[in-house]
Amino acid sequence: MAKHHVIVGGGPAATNAVETIRQFDTQSTITLVSDEPAHSRMALPYWISGQIPREHVLTGDEDYFRRLQVQCRVPARATRLDAQAKQLTLDSGETLSFDTLLIATGSSPVGLPIPGVDLAGVQPLWTLDHTQAVLQYVEQNQLQQPRVVFIGAGFIGFIVLGAMFKRGWKLTVVEREPHVLPRMLDAPAAQMVQSWLHSRGVEVHCGTSVQEIRQGQGTTKQVVLEGGTQLEADVVIVATGVKPNVDWLDGSGLEIDQGILIDDHCRTSAADIYAAGDVAQGPVLFSQQKEIHAIQPTAVDHGRVAGANMAGQDVSYPGSLAMNVVDICGLQAASFGRWDAPEATTINNPSRHIYRKLCYEGDRLVGAIFLGQASDLGMLNDVGMVKGILQTQTPLGPWKQFLQENPFDIRRVFVACQVADKLCRFRLIGRPAQPRGYRYQGGQPTATPGPGHASYVQTKAQQGGS
């Protein structure tokens, strides 16, 4: 019997749920409710840096949703949920009844309760409108090299920092914790990052907070720190974290902790209601606790698992892996899993900005930190192989000691423990993953291999073979 599936949200969890439902169910009705066009938030920095236009941030258009037979309510916002009656109320007053519902409402920036946050040129940078506003402010005020102060030095702030660095803007970072990226890197790695930023002309202030922002002449603003230090800026980016969008669910009856609690099928506490992405607090690897992993890979996995189960399948999720990967003005950083585990092997070379930490529990790898320039890190497969070992939770057995003694020889351990075989056999929803169904103006990805890779991608015909 055909059902009515309603999805609230327009991010990767929502679009992957739509596509997954259609893999299993071509007859039911799907309605998408979103206050923004479908897009990838992780693509916003590429728009800021000028590498892509705004249109390339979008992950769906009218033709795409028409092909998937999706009825779109965009822009629209869900304001109330009656879980028992299976009814959703929108900001227009319209009500939607559903058979299954996916809540993928994401997260929003945490506000900063200080004077001056409402000044022109002071804002978070989280949405399409935020991004457009910053670019327009810089253009309208003819700022060739605007001075930008970031309040907050976490992952969110740093992906934007890297984009602005590419444009040659003058950057300063303020972080109230003792070091930058406090939820991604340990202290030694963070000190290396701060040294790198200093060498690139980025000013860093840690262990202090912003007390107020004052308007100066023209676009100039004074950012006043604890102790009275004043920093001058044209633009101030508030990057003090995000929180799940759950306020509208008051009185819904759903079990909510920090986010909406979900099980290994992405089901909430209410029948036929699912949650995915930044708003969902669910199973994670290497812990019995449910956590929020506000990252795109988790949102994609949640969306596919929820979509399959909404379409009548029985798909369980092994748990998400905590991970962050970011380019810090040319320095590559990646962290995975429980990198604060007590047993670890560490390589620390500050002169070359190389840092590697592998963390263990018993004979399993449970976390890792990588730091290095692209020539030392980005061209290696080590990051991907460690991620595979963590995702498969592979016991290393005698290879643990080998890895401890040879932390740069991850490939041998990866092969010996047959991690690739485990990864190849794994099917998240019981069938091979399919490419996203949307490409801007129908274009297809292309790549031109460099000299070092050409021999690996050429066909026999191109090489003159038969």
User: What is the SS3 assignment for 197-250?
Assistant: HHHCCCEEEECCCEEEEEECCCCCEEEEECCCCEEEECEEEECCCEEECCHHHC
Q: What is the arithmetic mean of pLDDT over 246-272? A: 97
Q: Cα 292 to chain center, whole Å?
A: 12
CA-based nearest residue to 422, from 393, 399, 448, 386: 393
Mean pLDDT of 347-364: 95
pLDDT at 146: 98
pLDDT value for 443: 81
Please determine, for residue 3, whether its predicted confidence score (pLDDT) is greater than 60: yes
Q: Are 397 and 367 in contact (CB under 8 A)?
A: no
At residue 464, the pLDDT reads 45
What is the average pLDDT across 32-59?
95
pLDDT in tens, 136-195: 999 999 999 999 999 999 998 999 999 999 999 999 999 999 999 999 999 999 999 999
pLDDT for position 379:
58
The C-alpha angle with vertex 8 and arms to 6 and 13, in degrees rounded to 5, equals 105
> Which of the four pLDDT bands, split at 50, 70 and 90, describes residue 463?
very low
Q: In degrees rounded to 5, what are phi and psi of residue 215?
A: -85, 130
Structure tokens at 318: 């092994």
Which domains, ranges and CATH numbers included, belong to the chain? 4-108+243-310 (3.50.50.60), 122-240 (3.50.50.60), 330-423 (3.30.390.30)
Q: Is 180 helix (H, G, I), strand (E, B) or coil?
A: coil
How far is Cα 275 from Cα 137, in angstroms, rounded to an integer? 36
- Tell me which of 228-242, 365-379, 394-408 is least confident: 365-379
Q: pTM of this prediction?
A: 0.93
Query: Where does the pLDDT of residue 218 fall: very low under 50, low under 70, confident under 90, or very high at 90 and above?
Result: very high
Residue 297, pLDDT above cutoff 90: yes
pLDDT band at 456 (very low <50, low <70, confident <90, very high): low
What pLDDT was estimated at residue 290? 97
Percent of the chain predicted with pLDDT > 70: 96
Do 357 and 186 meet the contact criterion of CB atoms below 8 Å apart?
A: yes
pLDDT in tens, 375-406: 777 556 899 999 999 999 999 999 999 999 99
- Rounded CA separation 175/173 (Å): 7
Measured in degrees and rounded to the nearest 5, phi and psi for residue 323 equal -160, 150
Altogether, the residues listed in the chain come to a count of: 466
pLDDT at residue 466 tops 50: no
